[in-house]
């Protein structure tokens, strides 16, 4: 089985429950309560949109950027290609994620970001993000604290590669995607679509493609995970979490203090 799942990709929720008009608004509302003014500002970040075709770069390694991008539809992958052609996938980007963190804060982008599916992004200049600290400090803190969640994801991936077995790595990876997609309304309690190949999973987890194939087969045989066409179903969340030593606290809500009177 060369491909785990493929498809047209991930988009924004079909309905904007609770006033969330974009995946970014829904994601930020997960971290902190957003006011109507906050929601309008978040919507304004999507004022300009750009379509990116599958397999095209959103960010190219080594180039200078004066902006980040909000991914509103589709999915993307952040990675580095080594001199001998090997690829290390650093993270999977989902709707509601900022594209360009942390590499775009350096003089030149440190990593490439390529669309896994047809995608839609909105460019957001650094000056706009930094200006939020002056005019809307609590919203700015919520956005930048969401970057801390991404940093925690990187740390967990380091634990994956350094200490977890292949079975534990794949189990943890599948659970992490479930939780991240649930935050933006793109997964139910135990299932989601995953436009990934076994090669991509291997590059993300430091495994070979045959090893990923064997591991997925074992998870199916143990009735922990079912993969049918484009959908992953986690049949036993508690069992898979125990296997992977998965603690979702690093994806949880931040404790952001209430804004001072008159601020934001």
pLDDT digits (tens, 9 = 90+) for 79-93: 999 999 999 999 999
**Sequence ranges of the domains in the chain:** 17-251
pLDDT tens digit sequence for 220-234:
999 999 988 778 999
Top pLDDT among 10 and 218 is at 218
pLDDT tens digit sequence for 172-186:
999 999 999 999 999
CB 64 within 8 A of CB 70: no
Q: What is the mean pLDDT of residues 242-259?
A: 77
pLDDT at 15 > cutoff 70? no
% of the chain residues with pLDDT over 90: 64
pLDDT band at 254 (very low <50, low <70, confident <90, very high): low
Tokens 């988009």 belong to residue = 11
Q: What is the mean pLDDT of residues 213-220?
A: 96
User: Whole-number mean pLDDT of the chain?
Assistant: 87
Q: What is the mean pLDDT of residues 143-162?
A: 88
pLDDT at 104 > cutoff 80? no
Judge if the upstream peptide bond of residue 102 is cis by omega within 30 degrees of 0.
Answer: yes
Question: Which of 76-80, 109-113, 191-195, 228-232 has the lowest average pLDDT?
Answer: 228-232
pLDDT band at 192 (very low <50, low <70, confident <90, very high): very high
CB 112 within 8 A of CB 61: yes
pLDDT band at 2 (very low <50, low <70, confident <90, very high): very low
Check residue 18 and give its pLDDT: 52
Check residue 164 and give its pLDDT: 93
Euclidean distance between CA atoms 89 and 161, whole angstroms: 12
Residue 129: DSSP 8-state: H
Of 3.40.50.880, 3.30.470.20, 2.40.170.20, 2.60.120.10, the CATH number of 17-251 is: 2.60.120.10
pLDDT tens digit sequence for 237-250:
999 999 999 988 88
Check residue 146 and give its pLDDT: 87
Helices 166-183, 198-205: inter-axial angle, 10-degree rounding: 110
The verdict on pTM exceeding 0.75 is yes
Tokens 């296997």 belong to residue = 243
């Amino acid at each position: 089985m060369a491909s785990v799942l493929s498809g047209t990709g991930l988009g924004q929720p079909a309905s904007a429950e609770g006033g969330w008009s974009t995946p970014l608004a829904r994601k930020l509302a997960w971290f902190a309560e957003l006011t109507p003014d906050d929601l309008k500002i978040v919507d304004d970040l999507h004022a300009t949109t750009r379509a990116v075709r599958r397999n095209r770069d959103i960010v190219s390694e080594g180039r200078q950027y004066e902006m980040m991008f909000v991914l509103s539809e589709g999915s993307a992958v952040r990675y580095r290609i080594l001199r001998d052609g090997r690829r290390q996938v650093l993270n999977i980007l989902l709707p509601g994620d900022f594209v360009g963190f942390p590499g775009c804060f350096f003089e030149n982008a440190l990593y490439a970001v390529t669309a896994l599916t047809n995608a839609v992004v909105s460019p957001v200049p650094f000056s706009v993000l930094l200006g939020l600290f002056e005019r809307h400090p609590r919203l700015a803190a919520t956005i930048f604290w969401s970057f801390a969640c991404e940093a925690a994801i990187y740390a967990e991936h380091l634990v994956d590669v350094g200490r977890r077995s292949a079975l534990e790595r794949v189990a943890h990876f599948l659970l992490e995607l479930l939780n991240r997609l649930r935050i933006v309304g793109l997964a139910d309690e135990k299932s989601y679509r995953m436009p990934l190949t076994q090669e991509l999973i291997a590059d993300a987890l430091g495994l070979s493609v045959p090893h990923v194939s064997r591991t997925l087969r074992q998870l199916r045989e143990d009735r922990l995970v079912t993969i049918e066409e484009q959908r992953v179903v986690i049949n036993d969340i508690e069992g898979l979490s125990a296997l992977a030593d998965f603690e979702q606290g690093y994806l949880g809500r931040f404790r952001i203090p209430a804004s001072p009177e008159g601020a934001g």
